[in-house]
Amino acid sequence: MTLDQIILFSLFIAVFAMLLWGRFRYDLVAFSALMLGVVLGVVPVNDAFSGFGHPATIIVALVLVVSAGLVRSGAVFLITRTMVDSSRALGSHIAIMGGIGGVLSAFMNNVAALALLMPVDVQTARKAGRSPGLSLMPLSFATILGGMVTLIGTPPNIIIAAIRQDALGAPFKMFDFAPVGGIAAIAGLIFVALIGWRLIPAREDAGASTADLAQYIAELVVPDEAKIIGQRLAELEDVAHSSDVAILGLIRDGKRRYGTARNTVLKAGDSLVLEATPDALDEFRTALNLAFADAKRSEQLNADAEGLDIVEVVVTESARIAGKTAQSIGLSWRQRTVLMGISREGTRITNEMRKTVIKPGDILLLLTPRDTASDVTDWLGCLPLADRGLAVTENSKVWLAIGIFAAAVAAASFGLIYLPIALGLVVIAYVLARIVPLSELYTHIEWPVVVLLGSMIPLGAALENAGGTELIAGAIVDLTLGMPAWMILTVLMVVTMTLSDVLNNTATTIVAAPVGIQMAHSLNVSPDPFLMAVAIAASSAFLTPIGHKNNTLILSAGNYRFGDYWRCGLPLEIIIVAVSIPAILVFWPL
């Protein structure tokens, strides 16, 4: 080995040892390794920061913003209500979400499929009172597996088809990957749904759980165009239950109804009295297209085109609103703010929200024009609670958000536009349509993940340029001399998988596919089973968060550590090899 190769292999070993140890944060470790590589001369100075402009890094950042837009528009609530039930057992939930993700990934880029389903999975975990980390990794793995089934499902398949055309004169077709890829995907999904999720370390969610959120007594108004007009209040119980909302009563013409309210036929202008957390309240409002306030106050709120914020404040003894009502201090017309809910331990609230006397110690849920929360809090003389990222769902834009995203994914899937460009256009459209506020655009990007990916890509490229990957490929050829065909295919898959866990899967495919063809020629057999083995193995990057963009995307959302992936990923890779080798020999005989 050359000196550069020794240094690079040593750097990778040190990086993985530090990441598995977990003592230091993963982005700091990766960036330190990159800087050390530059100082030692194995990473060219001009390429030191090339990873931060790499398509993989850009895709990860853009996908996080797109996911936030799908949440803010209500698209996630729509999918959750129609496809997902938080009361299901975790294994059943993983099987259903994984099946949906696998099918979507077969016909659209698997990164885009995860972008759509990841916020759905997180929301479901919140409602079920469990950590998203138990289901996000299986979902990521399922979307990776689904991409193996078709030509357009994952970049390695496209590259393999192009290499086959150059070497043999004809590319693989759209569904040539389906027999082997489908069997691998089904076997993998069965594993993660039945066993794999049990191997993931149980760790507390990085965000607040539903149980930690205050329960508010709140009001939502039935607008003139609501579809629930003419229904009885009792008919809303199923939607309320699925949203984790308790319906306490009904206010009509300023009078509160209790016992008889369940059989009351709803009219425009009625106010539903509810008990719920802020997130559950927003989901219930979105599901039934309810309004925050009466027509006059809604008009005042919507006058600010930048949108709305939800804030939580604690009432102090000296607060302006203490001992008074929101109506008496002119909260709506002075500050264009609506009192959405009151959390008051041990006391029943019987008046309308705006006519309820506020007491010191109450927690208020306020709806304010965007970027005015601090001014309103100061004016009230209250103390703000820690920001929990509460947001107002723009449910009027749900189909616009879905349509923009679907059009971009379709265009990228059929090769009409490059995926990073398509996602970039989605982000621009979401900002222009005010689905994602411009002020929040960069807050949705997980910068430690970007630094991790941006640092590791130049190191992987340096290893390839220094001949490290060719060194590994030559060792494979020497190692497999005289072995039976199934053993040679197994070694090729294992080595390709290992490379894919460290390098970008595109780079792995480019290196491993010619090696597979060379091995086939040396055995005087068809190259197709070797190319198929490389295609499956290059997509099977389950041991690290840097092996595949989907694994990187879930790193922060699932509160994972670097060493968490191999626990579920290693047995999954073994299963993929075990089922793929026989399938390749059956469907692509030597």
Q: What is the CATH number of the domain that holds 336?
A: 3.30.70.1450
Residue 267 has pLDDT above 80, yes or no: yes
Between 304 and 106, where is the model more confident? 106
Task: Report whether pLDDT(384) > 70.
Answer: yes
Q: Strand 271-276: give its sheet, edge to edge.
A: 255-257, 246-252, 271-276, 216-221, 338-343, 363-369, 308-314, 383-384
In tens, the pLDDT along 164-202 reads 887 788 888 878 899 999 999 999 999 999 999 999 887
What is the secondary structure of 415-472 as a DSSP string?
TSS-HHHHHHHHHHHHHHTTSS-GGGTTTTS-HHHHHHHHHHHHHHHHHHHTTHHHHH
- The predicted-structure confidence for 459-486, as pLDDT tens digits, reads as follows 878 887 888 767 776 777 778 777 887 8
| Type and span of the H or E element at 567 | helix 565-587
Which range in 104-113, 321-330, 347-356 is most confidently predicted, on average pLDDT?
Answer: 321-330
Q: Any bridge partners for residue 342, and if so which?
A: 217, 364
- The count of structural domains within the chain is 2
Whether residue 401 is contained in a domain is answered as no
Q: Are 277 and 284 in contact (CB under 8 A)?
A: no
Report the C-alpha gap between 294 and 333 in whole angstroms: 13
The answer to whether residues 182 and 67 belong to one domain is yes
Q: How many angstroms separate the CA atoms of 7 and 367, rounded?
A: 57
Q: Are residues 218 and 189 in the same domain?
A: no
Percent of the chain with pLDDT over 90: 20
Range with the poorest average pLDDT among 66-80, 151-165, 403-417? 66-80
The rounded distance, in Å, linking the Cα atoms of 510 and 182 is 23
Instruction: Tell me if residue 222 falls in helix, strand or coil.
Output: coil
- Which pair of structure tokens corresponds to residue 161? 């088809």
Q: Which residues contact 349 (CB under 8 A, 6 or more apart)?
A: 217, 342, 356
DSSP state letters, 337-389: -EEEEEE-TT----S-GGGSPP-TT-EEEEEEETT-HHHHHHHHT-EEPPP--
Mean pLDDT of the chain: 82
Q: How far is CA 506 from CA 94, 162, 258, 443, 501, in A?
A: 28, 12, 63, 29, 12
Answer yes or no: do 196 and 221 share one domain: no
Within a 13 Å sphere around the CA of 546, how many CA atoms are in the beta-carbon half? 28
Read off the pLDDT band of 299 (50, 70, 90): low
State phi, psi for 337 to the nearest 5 degrees.
Answer: -125, 140
Calpha distance 342→424 (Å, rounded)? 40
Beta bridge partners of 474: none
Angstrom distance (rounded) from CA 24 to CA 548: 22
> Where among 384, 419, 436 does a domain terminate?
384
Supply the range of the domain harboring residue 11: 6-204+446-587
CA nearest to 366, candidates 338, 326, 332: 338
Q: Per the domain annotation, does 418 fall within a domain?
A: no
**Using 50, 70 and 90 to split pLDDT, how confident is the model at 209?**
very low
Residue 541 forms part of a structural domain: yes
Indicate if 168 and 230 belong to the same structural domain.
no
Q: pLDDT band at residue 208, thresholds of 50, 70 and 90? A: very low
- Residues 67 and 76: their CA atoms lie apart, in Å, by 9
Asked which of 384, 404, 434 is the last residue of a domain, the reply is 384
The residue to which tokens 């550590």 are assigned? 561
Residues 486, 370 share a domain: no
Please state at what angle helix 75-83 crosses helix 398-413, rounded to 10 degrees. 90
- Burial (0-12, 13-18, 19+ Cβ within 10 Å), 445: middle
Name the residue with tokens 């370390």. Answer: 201
Quote the pLDDT of residue 575: 96
DSSP-assigned letters across all residues of 159-179: HHHHHHHHHHSS---TTTTHH
User: Is 159 a residue whose pLDDT tops 90?
Assistant: no
Would you say residue 414 lies in a domain? no
**Cα atoms found within 13 Å of the Cα of residue 191, Cβ hemisphere only:** 25
Residues 175 and 67 in one domain: yes
Tell me the pLDDT tens digit for each residue of 560-579: 888 889 999 999 999 999 99
Does the reported pTM lie above 0.75? Answer: no
Look at residue 205 in the predicted model and tell me its pLDDT: 58
Reported in sequence order, the residue ranges of 210-281 that DSSP labels E, i.e. its strands, are: 216-221, 246-252, 255-257, 271-276
Residue 21 one-letter amino acid: W
pLDDT digits (tens, 9 = 90+) for 315-343: 988 889 999 998 889 888 888 888 888 88
Q: Are 207 and 558 in contact (CB under 8 A)?
A: no
The mean per-residue pLDDT over the stretch 516-535 comes to: 86
Helix then strand then coil, % of the chain, to nearest 5: 60, 10, 30
Q: What is the 8-class DSSP label of residue 316?
A: P
> How crowded is residue 247: how many other Cβ atoms within 10 Å of its Cβ?
20
Cβ–Cβ < 8 Å for 503, 538: no
**Is 105 domain-assigned?**
yes
Q: Give the residue from 492, 514, 513, 504 showing the smallest Cα distance to 541.
A: 504
Whole-angstrom CA distances from 193 to 76, 95, 124, 160, 351 are 22, 5, 16, 30, 49
Same domain (yes/no): 285, 366: yes
Instruction: Judge whether residue 137 has pLDDT over 90.
Output: yes
Does residue 313 fall inside a structural domain? yes
Report if residue 391 sits inside a domain.
no
Same domain for 231 and 332: yes
Average pLDDT of 113-117? 80
Assess contact for 332 and 297: CB atoms under 8 A: yes
Please tell me whether residues 282 and 366 are part of one structural domain: yes
Share of the chain above pLDDT 70, in %: 88
Of 537 and 127, more confident: 537
Range of lowest pLDDT (11-25, 120-134, 374-388, 488-502): 11-25
Among candidate residues 499, 438, 527, the one with its CA nearest the CA of residue 168 = 527
Q: Are residues 34 and 119 in the same domain?
A: yes
Instruction: Quote the DSSP letter at residue 292.
Output: S
Q: Specify whether 148 is located in the same domain as 173.
A: yes
Average pLDDT (29-35) is: 91
Greatest Cα pair distance in the chain: 90
Instruction: Report the range out of 265-269, 353-357, 483-487 with the highest average pLDDT.
Output: 265-269
pLDDT for 35 beyond 50:
yes
Mean pLDDT of 105-134: 80
Top-confidence range, 86-95, 306-315, 386-395: 86-95
For residue 353, the model assigns a pLDDT of 78
Q: How far apart are CA 237 and CA 284, in angstroms?
A: 11
Closest to 539 measured CA to CA, from 491, 504, 566 = 504
Give the pLDDT of residue 478.
79
pLDDT at 111 over 80: no
What long-range pairs does 494-499 form, CB within 8 A, spacing at least 24? 494/537, 494/577, 496/533, 496/534, 496/537, 496/538, 497/537, 497/538, 497/540, 497/541, 497/573, 497/576, 497/577, 499/469, 499/472
Whether residue 305 is predicted with pLDDT greater than 50 in this model: the reply is: no
- What is the reported pLDDT for 189? 94
157 shares a domain with 218: no
Higher per-residue pLDDT: 245 or 348: 245
Contact at 8 Å (CB) between 341 and 349?
no
Q: Please identify, among 344, 364, 384, the residue that sits at the C-terminal boundary of a domain.
A: 384
Written as six digits, the tokens of 189 are 């999904």
| 141 located within any domain | yes
Q: Is the pLDDT of residue 504 over 70?
A: no
